Amino acid sequence: MPVHSSSDYRPPFPFVNCHMQTIFPNLFRRVGGVSYKRRRLTTPDGDFLDLDFSSVRAQRIAIVVHGLEGNSYRPYVLGMVRALNRAGWDAAAINLRGCSGEPNRNLRFYHSGDSGDLRSVVKHLLGTHAYRRIDLIGFSLGGNIVLKYLGEEAGKVNPAMAAAVVFSTPCDLRSSAMQMGLPSNRLYMVRFLKLLHGKIRQKAWQFPGRIDDNGYQTIRTFKEFDDRYAPVHGFANAEDYYEKASSKPFLQRIAIPVLVIDAADDPFLPRSCYPVAEARDNPLLYLEIPKHGGHVGFVSFRTGGVYWSESRAVEFLTEHAL
């Protein structure tokens, strides 16, 4: 499809700054009106995923996948779940392994290409619920998982799978890791490494002798982190992980309508993470590039507290209803 470099998103003053867009919602946004019911899904490898459901007794459901070190209670997830419920969707927010407040059972936790767990959730919903339609929404790391999953499923996608929307997606993991290593992103890098350190310490306690955090304080970049810990997830090193887990090679195979929204000023995304050529080659892949929005920002002060990203996702899913 044509790439939409223009967009109707207009940030309120002073949110033309990409860092304000990125930081403000995480620190100051409060989202009410969502009531979850948690269900635990056992995975094929004996681990578990905690799913948080918000139901309006609909026949359609959207699966929402959070970003790096997120969970179902992050404001961007709650805001999307609330918007979906108001528009007539049930919602299931996945807490990726180790992100639900309880350590997962196995040595590995989650990673950017973990499409197998999303596949398990889709299979569970199709097998145990009477939903006529399933949509997918992913943010950042969760967006990469959604895109990779859909590319892998291209020739066998279930007829109930209708459409997907992803935001701020690092579809080229190698270049996005390098981007995060820039001095301008140092504040974010320090925060992510600190949060990930907590998971590494937990795993070292669960599995002594198989993983440790000795010298962790010397790690300064995702490349250094991934070289050390990607083998926990079955990869040889960081380069192997970036090659196999990136969604970009899968985009041309996607066989349902998908909207990719990446703000032009996203501080986390280098040029290679904007899939312009892929969108032009795949008639089902829509790429929208608002001038502003930061990383998972798109701040709005609308009636009802709805952010632009939430209304845009509902609009796209409605347009492509089965």
Q: Which of 175, 266, 300, 309 is catalytic?
A: 266
CA dist 285 and 176 (Å) reads 21
**Sign (positive/negative) of CA torsion 65, 69, 70, 71?**
positive
Q: Catalytic one among 54, 115, 140, 247? A: 140
Give dist(CA 103, CA 35) in Å, integer.
23
Which residues, at least 6 apart from 125, have a Cβ–Cβ distance to it below 8 Å? 61, 63, 92, 131, 134
- Catalytic position from the list 295, 300, 309, 320: 295
Q: Which of 73, 37, 77, 40 has its CA nearest to residue 56?
A: 37
295 part of the active site:
yes
Q: Is 124 a catalytic residue?
A: no
Dihedral, 320, 310, 115, 219 alpha carbons, nearest 10: 150
129 is catalytic: no
Cis peptide before 14 (omega within 30 of 0): yes
Active-site residue numbers?
140, 266, 295
